[in-house]
Structure 1
């Protein structure tokens, strides 16, 4: 039995397992549109739908399948309560900045609610409070300040010490009237309505080129092109580097485990804490007498550490703290944090006139993606959107605001870019790699990423990420190669699983 086989649950997202697959065609011929949207997750589809509803001709290009990437592996909390964000915003952006953040995020929650009702989408939409908690008594003052800042920002927030968790907490900030839902059921219905409004979706169509102008030209890996007046890049991590967003974004991967528990024992609300390497808790409908407990945590940089051990630690925490049954599902989510803590949504770079971006949602992509759809649709149709300046990617970088985070982030990238190359090798020879495992090996002077499958066959590709050249590392729990610099992920034969990389890892002979 391999390490991977011994992990708890089935290696599949609950959202992917409980919603139908999709089969929109690839783009095979050149096309034109008012707007080309690159990426069909929460941000991309929300933007495309808002634009189609406003009468624009929209084409959506997705490298894989609709709502099957980051959005298909989220925790799916739909909330304006983003952990301890409002006291920090009050300090760095002032009370007005905090208020704009709260109002736009809460408006996004209500937008999903209203669209689901308008279209009659059965997406397990449920209202619940969102609570950020700590078990550390010395953190009480910080949580009292956060509750005050969130309330001042306009949310229905208060400070509490009692929750319906099955263990005590020292302090918590509660924000009422938030929501949780099934993201794929919602987005697949949104995609169907988008096409009914004249929008077009192309799956398995990876974009590799962009020429800015009036109009813009988007090129795919098959050589087909789309000519559009405007382009929206909503690929989670931007697939083009011309705006240098990689200097402001740091990738973060988190693990998820899910198990059934009796409905009578299930928490009624959503919870998150930064304690214990982060723990996020919510439930979803399962059957008549049970709900599915979904626990997220073990935050880490892709390509670092033992993912299998993290899965086991998270699963043990869930079983220690809740009366759950056998773990059913396990999966992982990936997010990008912006150095100043606010998503980048708006014009792609200072010179951009027709290209827009949505990225850096910091783990809150459900409300953030819906907000991005409203903001970008407003920008492209000439409507007003209060708070657009808060999210503008062209905002000036403040040394005091972003300096420490930028330096820390770039130091970590440099450590991997340079430090990993100073290692003589990750393993000494291909023969050392056990079936079901992978390792980086120097072969004839070149580092190769080698995976040995269950029957002993070795699959070798270049170990250099095709984004900016960092060395990849093997994630045994998910059978993937990961770049620790900017979060690109690759399959065992080198295919791109997650950007910003656009090209696969080239094969190597060993």
Structure 2
């Protein structure tokens, strides 16, 4: 079957983006709170604090909502896969219930804000489902149902869904929601600006001078002096003594925007088994667009990433024979050792620097709750979820086991990249092809663009020296060790790195 899809990735949420453009920071400035990162966590935190009378400056390395927030499936739900039975086993009933309550509060915040302000963001209430057609997962769904009963979660097991295929079993949480994240955040941005907040795009934070009044130092050398700093940059751009690179790993997943004459118009769905399949709809003019998501692998590892798009396209055509793939995109998520986000002080000794990260693909509710937690901490108010999400927790099971596994994986890929035998040369690359190549006897990364221009970079990641790999689906260089990502010219897309790849000299027109 021939599969047609857009040549270049573009998320549906940003396809008609009409965002305001904000100037880059061009001089030193002062404020009460500096927020680095223009996704849902950073924008919501900025909105809440400015509303409380704080003077807030928000900066982003590129443009607002261009990271994970703009590449999500945008489910607003507390059903994060089959997680509650696992959380009860690892953390106990009270902490598992706290996690559910925190995410329900995030959902309620979004719902109430949309309702009160009549925000046009395609918000709709939907039930959320985890389904299976694998006999080995039926028992897991039963255990999850028991966890729902223990925690008082509204929902439970069902035998039928609105999916265009039968399922062996499914479990639901009632009264969840979905929306258009970019439309929703435009309202928060506009309100933030009206209340006196300041935004600077294309402003990269590169370092922090700590102290009673931290200073964010940008790549251009400008300083933002503040009383509080919030790192909402997906991976904390400032990681001194926090060692977050060893306590999280990056994972890629994929999505398609699919047009069909017979869309599903009820419910949000995700499979229990792998490969994951996420299914929901969103309004598209007078029609509905299906958002088909799934596939996953560690960043910088696995098969040619284009194969993941192809697998989702095949699945889409099985569901909808008339499927037309209008959009495709991938997202980059960070997962902590125990699967709970890190929200709170960067380190125990730096109480004026906060982070919010590790949302494990469920950032709509987790990010919103994180923003509320950080607001309360800065305003010196109590918050019931502070202990649960503190970055300084350590639960021996499963944290210790996972820490050993992840760092063994890092070591494996560090060694693999150093001893790999590279046979290809830059002149072997065709138009729109990227690969690891040899230049002057050394490993390098090459990509030949649509105009035949060759882009050469050193493949050694500037974070901790692992060798990056070519990502064909997004045309990026991805690090298999700690999930840093770079564009074809070596510019940073995702941390933990803050430095670009080094350039490699070569004949840029070599063919």
- Listed as ranges, the matches of 1:283-362 within 5 Å are 283-288=281-286, 290-304=287-301, 305-362=303-360
Larger deviation: 451-460 or 130-139? 451-460
Residue in structure 2 matched with residue 369 of structure 1 by the alignment: 367
Map Cα deviations across residues 140-199 of structure 1 (whole Å, 9 max, x no partner). 221121122134323212111211111111221100111000000111110110111111
Report the secondary structure of 1:357's partner residue.
Answer: strand
Q: Quickly say closer, same or farther: Cα 1:454–1:6, change in 2 above 3 A.
A: farther
**1:402 counterpart = 2:422:** no
Counterpart Cα distance in 1 of 2:51 and 2:142: 42
**1:502 counterpart = 2:501:** no
Residue in structure 2 matched with residue 480 of structure 1 by the alignment: 476
Q: Is the 8 A contact 2:137 2:273 kept in 1?
A: no
Aligned residue-pair number? 503
Map Cα deviations across residues 292-337 of structure 1 (whole Å, 9 max, x no partner). 0001111012222211111111110111023553110001011011
**1:36 counterpart = 2:34:** yes
**1:449 counterpart = 2:448:** no
Q: Which one of 403, 411, 424 corresponds to residue 428 of structure 1? A: 424
- Listed as ranges, the matches of 1:12-51 within 5 Å are 12-51=10-49
Q: Quickly say closer, same or farther: Cα 1:324–1:43, change in 2 above 3 A.
A: farther
Counterpart Cα distance in 2 of 1:343 and 1:271: 23
Residue in structure 2 matched with residue 260 of structure 1 by the alignment: 259
Q: Which one of 401, 413, 416 corresponds to residue 416 of structure 1? A: 413
**1:96 counterpart = 2:94:** yes
Counterpart Cα distance in 1 of 2:359 and 2:391: 13
Counterpart Cα distance in 1 of 2:427 and 2:100: 55
- RMSD over equivalenced CA pairs, Å: 1.7
Residue in structure 1 matched with residue 119 of structure 2 by the alignment: 121
Map Cα deviations across residues 104-145 of structure 1 (whole Å, 9 max, x no partner). 100000101112223332111110011111111232221121
Larger deviation: 173-182 or 144-153? 144-153
Q: TM-score scaled by structure 2? A: 0.95
Structure 2: gaps spanning 5 or more residues: 507-511
Q: Is the 8 A contact 1:252 1:302 kept in 2?
A: yes
Report the secondary structure of 1:504's partner residue.
Answer: coil
Q: Is the 8 A contact 1:10 1:328 kept in 2?
A: no
Q: Is the 8 A contact 1:51 1:58 kept in 2?
A: yes
Q: Is the 8 A contact 1:483 1:489 kept in 2?
A: yes
* Structure 1 outlier segments of 4+, above 4 Å: 5-10
Counterpart Cα distance in 2 of 1:225 and 1:404: 41
Counterpart Cα distance in 1 of 2:210 and 2:113: 32
Report the secondary structure of 1:328's partner residue.
Answer: strand
Map Cα deviations across residues 237-262 of structure 1 (whole Å, 9 max, x no partner). 11122200111111000111111223
Structure 1: gaps spanning 5 or more residues: none
Residue in structure 1 matched with residue 238 of structure 2 by the alignment: 240
Q: Quickly say closer, same or farther: Cα 1:265–1:453, change in 2 above 3 A.
A: closer
Counterpart Cα distance in 1 of 2:322 and 2:363: 27
Q: Which one of 276, 279, 291 corresponds to residue 278 of structure 1? A: 276
Counterpart Cα distance in 1 of 2:36 and 2:222: 14
Report the secondary structure of 1:255's partner residue.
Answer: strand
Q: Which one of 211, 216, 219 corresponds to residue 218 of structure 1? A: 216
